[in-house]
Amino acid sequence: MLVKNSLLLAAALTAGSAVARLHGHERRHAHPKAEVEVQDASLPEIEAEVEKRAVGDVVTATIDGVLVTWINEWSGEAAASSSTSSVIQVPTTTAPAFTATPAAVESTVVPTPTPSTSSGGAWSDTPSSGEYSRSGFGGVSKSVTTGLLDWDYIGNVGVPWGSNIIEVEESAANQYKHVLRFEGSQSEPWTVLFWNTYGPNNKMDGFWAPNKALSFTLEPNEVKYVAIDDNSQGGWAASPGEVPTTNFGQYAATWGEFDMSSEKNDGFSGWDVSCIIAELNGLAIQGMRICNHLGQDCSSIGAGLSSLLNAYTKADQGNDHLAVAQASGPVRLVVQLDYA
C-alpha cells in the first residue's frame, strides 16, 4: 500500500475487508520473521515473513507497521544464500515495478435475472415461512481457512465460481436472504461489476480484471436487484461507462464491499464503501452510498471525496472499525450510485 509516498503493492488491505473489519480481530503472525537490514535510514523498515512460496501464492509482509499482501511472482530459482538476512530497499518517491497478474479466468455463469415469482409484498420484505430462496444460485463451495489472518479465509465463491451473486427481479427479491437494491445515476449509464474476494483459482485476486462474477449496466434512474448467497465475501466497483483498472489490472472505481452471513464471524454481515485503490492511483473517486432499507447503518463517499461516512480512504488502511456490521439474519441494502 502507500509507504512514505510510495505506491507499494496496492492490492490487499481493502480486499475481503468486510471480514477483516467487522469485529476488529487482532492481526497476528504465525511465522518467524527474518532479520532485515536497511542500508539507508530514510527508507522504511520492513519485516518480511520467512516462508517458501510458489509462484502465484499470496504473500504477506509488515511494512512500516502496515500489513500488505501480494501475489508471489518469484520462482525462488535465483542464486541461493545461506544467510537469513536480506536487504530490502523501497523507493520513497517512485512506485516499484509490479508485474503480478491474476488468473485470467472469468465466471462461466451467464448472468441472467432469476424468474419472477408472484410472492407479493415489497422487495424489502422477508418470507413469512422463514425459508429463503436459492433459485438461480449455483452450488455452495466449501470454505477454506488458509492462515491466521482475518482475510485468510475463503468462503462461498459459488460452484461454478461467481454463481453465488445473481441478478433477480424485483418481484422475487423479497424471497432471498441478502438483497441489494441498486439505484442508478440521474444523468448517465453506469456499469456495476461484482467479484468474490478470492478468484477462480483460490488466490486473493478476484478484484482483478478480467475476473467478474456479475456485471450489468444501469441506465439513468434505473433500479436493479442483486441477491448474494450465504457466507460470501466480495465487492463491486461502479462507474460511468467501463469500470477503470489500474495499470496492473486491479478494478479502480469506488468499491462497495460485503460479507454476507459469514460463518467465520458467527453469522454476522457487513458492508462498506472504499476509494482506497482509486485514490492511491490518482483516479476519479465516484460517489456511492450504502444503507439498509430503513436508511440506517450507512457507509458513503461523496463524489470526489466531498463527504465521508464509515468509509475507507487511503488514510484508513488497516483501520478495522469503519465497516458497518449487522447481526445474523436477512440483509436489505440500498446502493445509491453517483452519490453527491
Q: Does a structural domain hold residue 296?
A: yes
Q: What's the pLDDT tens digit per position in 35-75? A: 333 334 443 443 333 344 455 666 555 444 445 555 655 44
The enclosing domain of 247 has a CATH number of 2.60.110
The angle formed by the CA atoms of residues 23, 26 and 27, to the nearest 5 degrees, is 120
> pLDDT higher for 288 or 59?
288
CA atoms of 272 and 218, how far apart (whole Å): 21
CA atoms of 62 and 46, how far apart (whole Å): 6
In what helix (H) or strand (E) does residue 173 lie, and over which residues does it extend? helix 170-173
Q: Does a structural domain hold residue 235?
A: yes
Q: Does a structural domain hold residue 110?
A: no
Region 181-201: mean pLDDT is 97
Say what the pLDDT of residue 54 is: 59
Q: Does a structural domain hold residue 126?
A: no
Q: What's the pLDDT tens digit per position in 315-329? A: 988 787 889 999 999
Q: Which domain holds residue 212?
A: 144-337
Region 86-94: mean pLDDT is 32
Q: Does a structural domain hold residue 149?
A: yes
* Greatest mean pLDDT range, 5-19, 36-50, 189-203: 189-203
Q: Does a structural domain hold residue 294?
A: yes
Q: Does a structural domain hold residue 120?
A: no
CA atoms of 197 and 335, how far apart (whole Å): 19
State if pTM tops 0.85.
no
* Parallel, antiparallel or unpaired: strands 46-48 and 58-63: antiparallel
For the chain, the domain total comes to: 1
Q: Does a structural domain hold residue 292?
A: yes
Phi, psi of 123 (to 5 degrees): -60, -25
